[in-house]
Structure 1
């Protein structure tokens, strides 16, 4: 089953940022999306914020999980 939620470890691997920087980025994405603290961030939310291609991010995320 393909993953649709991102965690700081995923963002760090995708962007090359540190784990702490990835947490800050996810916090910014969550605030921009209007989600409450602790809400899950989807690939779509992340890509809308960063401008990355959702299909590429999803492929990288799901390929890594195998």
Structure 2
């Protein structure tokens, strides 16, 4: 079985939303603030799904390993 990534990056957000990579970086910072995370901590796919309202299965289709 192929292992999927656990965290999401700005480029992934760009693919999912069709917005710029800069928007992806800003959104990740907004999510970190929402979940009260430190700047060095990662955002998981589950956290992104919860924040954005997009189903995890749809997000996983856009992820490239």
Q: TM-score range by the shorter chain?
A: 0.7 to 0.9
TM-score, with length taken from structure 1: 0.86
Count, aligned residues: 63
Q: Which structure features the higher share of helix residues?
A: 1
- Which position in structure 1 is the counterpart of 2:35? 33
Q: Which structure features the higher share of strand residues?
A: 1
Following TM superposition, the consecutive aligned residue runs of length 4 or more in structure 1 with deviations greater than 2 angstroms are: none
**Gap runs ≥5 in structure 2:** none
- Describe how 1:40-59 pairs up with structure 2 within 5 A: 40-59=42-61
Residue among 21, 24, 36 paired with 2:23: 21
